[in-house]
Amino acid sequence: MKATAHSVWIAFSLALVALIPAQAKDELRVSYPSKVESSKGKEREKLFSKWMSAQAALAYNEEMWKKGQKLVYFEFDSAQNQWRTIHSSKIKFKGGYSWRAFIDEKEMEAQLNTEIKLGRQPAFIVRENGAYAMLFVSPEDLDAVRTELKALGVGEPKLKK
């Protein structure tokens, strides 16, 4: 009887484990977002665009792109639904890039994994103004972008599996 009860318990436990959604081994989670140095806050403030709507930010980014200025940093204010950006003429993207903002951590991590599967790396991930802001770039652009971010006082995110 004990052996049968034990076998039933093992089968039940295995069935429960099978029902729990498994996280793929290659999925990443943010361990620490990028550190943003407050000592360089005044320098960043001088470089930021004005706060604007998402549509205006997209148009502004396109306008700056045509002028040879590439997006290196941005903030999103979730309460106001406003964006502001910093562009640099020192960056010449060779590969793809994307910039995103999320309020929910799980959505942010899902996008992180999607971007990595597409071959892009996080240049920064920050949590400010009630949202996560993230810039992803191709591996060949990562060092140049991170050099610019370091000058702005923005560190790289720490990722864990």
Tens digits of residue pLDDT in 83-139: 999 999 999 899 889 999 999 999 999 999 999 999 999 999 999 888 999 999 999
Find where tokens 């002028």 sit. Answer: 67
Residue 7 pLDDT greater than 80, yes or no = no
Here the tokens at position 114 are 């999607």
Tens digits of residue pLDDT in 81-95: 999 999 999 998 998
E strand map for the chain: 29-32, 70-77, 82-88, 97-102, 121-128, 131-137, 158-160
CA-nearest of 147, 103, 95 to 121 is 95
Find where tokens 């940093």 sit. Answer: 73
Residue 8 pLDDT greater than 50, yes or no = no
Q: Where are the domains of the chain?
A: 23-160
Tens digits of residue pLDDT in 16-48: 333 334 344 567 677 789 999 999 999 999 999
pTM of the model: 0.79
- Distance, in Å, from the CA atom of 128 to the CA atom of 61, rounded to the nearest integer, reads 21
